[in-house]
Amino acid sequence: MRHANQRVRHFFLFLFAVDAACRRVAANGGAAVAPASAVQEKATHQIDAGFRSADAAYEAFDVANAGVIGTAATAFGRTDAAHFCNLGLRQPAWPTLRQAATGDAVAQDLMLLAEKLAGDTAQLPQRINIGPDRVIDMLHATLAQRFLGAGTPVFSTANLQAYLAEAASAIGLYRAGHVARGNHGIAACCDAYLQVYATAGDAIWPSVRGMIYAECAGLRLNDADYIGY
């Protein structure tokens, strides 16, 4: 559940950082880079690495066992450094923006934040990283282009509710396919994602709103450009 929850938060904070960096550079007479054009559908930055061991002390992921959900990720012999965001910063738009941000400490801070969020990871069983987590990777790619291209604040109640609803639908379909094949371990992991999408929205909204507001206050940006109510 923690991973799915953090994925929502990283996604919206990443969109904010990219959007704000593009706006800042353009406002100062630099390169006019559309935020959606600066984002690509796969990670370009990576913090940490996965783990592989054939040592019998480590667990194998049992796709049929629903109890696998109770095993810590680091107990498995095959884990990936799974991206929270799994979005990247596109060539040549991002280097163009970085060049235009030379001498602008605010723009540079925003770009560093975007790069950190793009690379941030957590250890996850490999079978989950290439399973339900991949479903959310693809959703992030779709929603990033939609939200960044809409011309409205990237973090809003409408966008958060759209994320939660579409993530629940996508994971629900994926889960159903695995239940039909007897993969109850995969289904149990899907249930953890679904619980976040069903129950965590009321906590995610003030948390992410507060983080974006604090960034805007610290960098003297107009928070209304990025937070919609």
pLDDT, position 204: 97
Tokens describing residue 212: 């974006």
Q: Which of 112, 204, 195, 114 is nearest to 157 (CA)?
A: 204
Distance CA 17, CA 85 (A): 13
> Do the beta carbons of residue 147 and residue 26 sit within 8 Å?
no
Q: What is the pLDDT of residue 6?
A: 98
Provide φ and ψ at 40, rounded to 5°: -120, 165
pTM: 0.96
User: What is the pLDDT at residue 229?
Assistant: 85
The torsion region of residue 191 among left (phi > 0), alpha (psi -120 to 50) and beta comes to alpha
Q: Which is nearest to 218 in space by CA: 36, 35, 17?
A: 17
**Residue-level pLDDT at 119:** 98
Q: According to the model, what pLDDT value does residue 30 have? A: 82
Q: Whose structure tokens read 């550079």?
A: 25
Q: How far apart are CA 52 and CA 78, in angstroms?
A: 5
In this structure, what DSSP letter does residue 33 have? -
* Per-run averaged pLDDT (10 residues), the chain, 229 residues: 95 98 92 94 95 93 95 94 97 93 95 98 96 98 97 97 98 98 97 97 97 97 96
pLDDT at residue 168 in the model: 98
Tokens of 206: 């003030």
d(CA 65, CA 47): 31
Written as six digits, the tokens of 200 are: 């965590």
- pLDDT of 148 reads 97
Residue 201 makes CB contacts below 8 A (sequence gap 6+) with: 160, 161, 164
